[in-house]
Structure 1
Amino acid sequence: MAIFLTRDSKVVVQGMTGAEGRKHTARMLAAGTRIVGGVNPRKAGRTVAFDDHRIPVFGSMGDALDQTGADVSVVFVPPPFAKSAVIEAADAGLALAVVITEGIPVHDAVAFQAYARARGTRVIGPNCPGLITPGQSNAGIIPADIAPDPGRIGLVSKSGTLTYQLMYELRDIGFSTCVGIGGDPVTGTGHIDSLAAFEADPDTELIVLIGEIGGDAEERAAAYIAEHVTKPVVGYVAGFTAPEGRTMGHAGAIVSGSSGTARAKKAALEAAGVPVGRTPSETAALVRNRIAARVSSLIVGAESEP
């Protein structure tokens, strides 16, 4: 099992013929992703060679969907055209649009998020690394060789770099799905959406939540965990040393007064029963401790049965 992305997902790459799109399409194919086409109105009818694969280029998302049955789009188009790309994917009826592009104007992000939501298209991003279900499919820029083997940890993160680090630290245990939701002020899929999906996934046993300064997403996630999540959750919040009033890395990572601080987020998560590491390595150690405790309780329970 997995969330949002499986080996059966058929992926179209919007912007496949550009430098970044071409590079990451090759990496996604190497990871086993079923890429069935690219979209570029100026290059419709051509094919692009990737080692043993020849991927057709379509003139529109509608054509791509009609001819391939695609259900996922990965968006690599430049910021001025990202809004139109997502709207086109939503109009075509795709279930999921993964928007890798950074630097998209906030008003564009607000508009395409609302448009896609109204048409039943889930958006991940923008300004995100995408998502990966190890051993099945990879939609975005997450390096598949960090944690190649599937496992039973679900990960949801605002930060691409921290996604990679936690995947590496816990690669021997493995992941069901890792979702990089992005750190812009306006994103589609959030912590709560991913928590709900992981809670419903029978093959996810523990969830890692990575947040950062700015906004109140982590506080809202903590409230949701307290009410709805029965699986163990371990957290990490980046930005304990960030100065007030300065954007740090992501456009949404800014502390204003006492709002959105790492300490406030840590306190909210811990009040919901979520242990929070001070560093990525400490967070990985907390995960290992939780898994060891869970295994021990299962063994004790089995031994006590008549």
Structure 2
Amino acid sequence: MSILITPETKILVQGITGAFGAKHAQLSLDYGTQVVAGVTPGKGGQFFEHAGHKVPIFNTVAEAAKATGATVSCIFVPPPFAADAILECVDAGLDLAVAITEGIPIKDMVRVKHAMRGAKTRLVGPNCPGLVTPGAGEGSKGGCRIGIAPGYINKKGHVGVVSRSGTLTYEAVYQLTVKNIGQSTTVGIGGDPVNGTSHLDVVKLFAADPDTHGIIMIGEIGGNAEVEAARWLKANCKKPVAGFIAGATAPAGRRMGHAGAIVGGAEDTAAAKIKAFKECGIEVAETPSDMADALIRAAKARGVTLS
């Protein structure tokens, strides 16, 4: 099993005719992802062609979903229009919208969050690398890749990875794979202060998934989402969990990288989050290079086999 997406999930790509959207649609098709539609207003009736694939393009998400059965959208729409692109997914009743776009104004995301209350659609992102559920083929092909994460570093297996950072997501996955430990699903939730899916949301899904035997949770300075998830894990999950918090050397009051990575109070610091992780029984990786080994230590302590 996996969470949120499977190799059978049908995907549409909003912004498929832009350079960035086109490139990653190609990479997803090469990975074996079921990219069944593209959406670019004014280009309905055209096709996106790549390596023998002929993907129809529609003017709206609703038209694309109705014609192809797509249930998930990957959004590569420029920041001024991205909020409306997300809400178009909500109006069409999609299961999941994955917003890769960076730089969406916070006021636009507040409007989106308000409009999505009670909606069927789940949002991952914005400013995120997306999701990967590896397949069983060579280079994990035959899986589902949504977004910009490199699929070839993944391996089908039983570890769930959730992260605010794209590059640290890839690092954790690569470390696991070279140790012959596969992943169930990798979820990059993005680093913006207003997002659709939190660490807590994802670890709840991993905890409930019988095929996910261990979890790596990667966070950074700013906000209290990681601590919230850690406390829930302590109370509700017996699976081994490893964690890493980036930004230990960041000075207070200075934004580091992500829009949400800024220390606003004592509980926002890396030290406070690391302390909370340890109190909650999460094995802490002291450096990025230690993430897979930290999970191996946690699994060994609980007598859990990961590979």
Distance 1:219 1:124 in 2: 19
- Does 1:85 find its partner at 2:85? yes
- Does 1:151 find its partner at 2:154? no
Residue 37 (structure 1) aligns with:
37
Quote the offset at 1:113 in angstroms. Answer: 2.5
Quote the offset at 1:96 in angstroms. Answer: 0.1
Distance 1:25 1:186 in 2: 26
In the alignment, residue 142 of structure 1 is paired with which amino acid?
A
Q: Cα 1:39–1:146, aligned 2, differ >3 Å: closer, same or farther?
A: same
Quote the offset at 1:284 in angstroms. Answer: 1.7
The alignment of Structure 1 onto Structure 2 pairs a total of residues equal to 297
Q: Cα 1:61–1:278, aligned 2, differ >3 Å: closer, same or farther?
A: same
Distance 2:228 2:265 in 1: 19
Distance 2:300 2:280 in 1: 21
In the alignment, residue 260 of structure 1 is paired with which amino acid?
D
Quote the offset at 1:293 in angstroms. Answer: 4.3
- Does 1:22 find its partner at 2:22? yes
In the alignment, residue 87 of structure 1 is paired with which amino acid?
L
Bigger shift: residues 112-121 or 201-210:
112-121
Residue 8 (structure 1) aligns with:
8
Q: Cα 1:183–1:96, aligned 2, differ >3 Å: closer, same or farther?
A: same
Equivalent residues of 2:124, 2:197 under 8 A apart: yes
Residue 199 (structure 1) aligns with:
207
Quote the offset at 1:257 in angstroms. Answer: 4.2
Quote the offset at 1:283 in angstroms. Answer: 2.2
In the alignment, residue 175 of structure 2 is paired with which amino acid?
E
Distance 1:164 1:129 in 2: 10
Distance 1:84 1:118 in 2: 18
RMSD: 1.4
Matching of residues 1-306 of structure 1 within 5 Å? 1-135=1-135, 136-147=143-154, 149-171=155-177, 172-295=180-303
Quote the offset at 1:118 in angstroms. Answer: 2.5
Distance 1:64 1:283 in 2: 40
Bigger radius of gyration, 1 or 2? 1
Equivalent residues of 2:267, 2:273 under 8 A apart: no
Equivalent residues of 1:86, 1:116 under 8 A apart: no
In the alignment, residue 155 of structure 1 is paired with which amino acid?
V
Quote the offset at 1:270 in angstroms. Answer: 0.9
In the alignment, residue 279 of structure 2 is paired with which amino acid?
A
Distance 2:117 2:146 in 1: 20
Structure 1: gaps spanning 5 or more residues: 299-306
Distance 2:186 2:232 in 1: 19
Structure 2: gaps spanning 5 or more residues: 136-142
**1:138-179 CA deviation, whole Å, 9 max, x = no partner?**
1110000112x2011000000000000011111120100000
Q: TM-score, normalised by structure 2?
A: 0.94
Distance 1:116 1:139 in 2: 21
In the alignment, residue 62 of structure 1 is paired with which amino acid?
A
